[in-house]
Amino acid sequence: MSYARDFDKRVRVGIVGLGSHSYRNLLPTLTFLPVDLIAVTDLDKDLADATAKQYGVERSYQDTAEMYAAEDLDAVLLCVSPQLHPKLAREAFAAGLHVWLEKPVGTSVADVDSMIDARGDRIAVVGYKKVFMPAAVKARELTGLPEFGKLHSISGVYPMSIPHGDADFIARGESNRWLVDGCHPTALLLSLGGSAIEVTTHRADDNSGALIIRHEGGNVTALHLADSAPMFQPSEHYTLVGDGQSIEIHNSRSVKYQRNIPHSYVAGTTFAPEGTDHGAIVWEAQDSYNTLENKALFTQGMFGELRYFLDCVLEDRQPELSTLEFARNVMQVFEAALQSDGTPVAINN
Half-sphere exposure of 53 (CA within 13 A, CB side): 6
Using alpha carbons only, what angle is made at residue 108 by residues 106 and 111, rounded to the nearest 5 degrees? 60
The confidence band for 337, taking pLDDT boundaries of 50, 70 and 90, is very high
Among 143, 93, 152, which Cα is nearest to 118's?
93
Region of poorest pLDDT, from 31-45, 106-120, 149-163, 252-266: 252-266
Instruction: Give me the helices (H) in 95-197, please.
Output: 109-119, 129-132, 134-143, 167-172, 177-180, 183-193
Q: Which CATH class is domain 132-298+330-346?
A: alpha beta
Q: CATH code for 4-128+302-323?
A: 3.40.50.720
Full-model pTM: 0.95
pLDDT in tens, 239-254: 999 999 999 999 999 9
pLDDT at residue 328, as a whole number: 98
Spatial contact of 249 and 191, defined as CB atoms under 8 Å apart? no
Region of poorest pLDDT, from 24-28, 189-193, 226-230: 226-230
Distance, CA of 91 to CA of 242 (rounded, Å): 44
The confidence band for 285, taking pLDDT boundaries of 50, 70 and 90, is very high
Q: 230 pLDDT exceeds 90?
A: no
CA 122, chain centre distance (Å): 20
The mean per-residue pLDDT over the stretch 96-122 comes to 98
Q: 268 pLDDT exceeds 90?
A: no
Q: 325 pLDDT exceeds 90?
A: yes
Task: Express as a percent the part of the chain with pLDDT over 70.
Answer: 100
As a whole number, the mean pLDDT across the chain is: 95
Q: 232 pLDDT exceeds 90?
A: no
Distance, CA of 323 to CA of 78 (rounded, Å): 15
Question: Domain ranges in the chain?
Answer: 4-128+302-323, 132-298+330-346
**Secondary structure (3-state) at 252:** coil
Distance, CA of 252 to CA of 282 (rounded, Å): 13
Q: Beta strand 237-241 with 245-250: parallel, antiparallel or unpaired?
A: antiparallel
pLDDT in tens, 202-222: 999 888 899 999 999 999 999
Q: What are the CA-CA distances from residue 319 to residues 123, 200, 309, 315 (Å)?
A: 7, 30, 7, 10
Distance, CA of 189 to CA of 203 (rounded, Å): 20
Residue type at 275?
G
pLDDT at residue 162, as a whole number: 95
Q: 264 pLDDT exceeds 90?
A: no
Task: Express as a percent the part of the chain with pLDDT over 90.
Answer: 88
Among 87, 86, 135, which Cα is nearest to 324's?
86
pLDDT at residue 1, as a whole number: 60
Q: What are the CA-CA distances from residue 207 to residues 35, 158, 184, 223, 330 (Å)?
A: 43, 13, 18, 13, 20
Backbone φ and ψ of 30, nearest 5°: -60, -20
Helix (H) / strand (E) element for 13: namely: strand 11-16
pLDDT at residue 269, as a whole number: 87
- Classify each residue of 197-218 as buried b or exposed e, where b means 16 or more C-beta atoms within 10 Å of its C-beta: bbbbbbbeeebbbbbbbbbeee
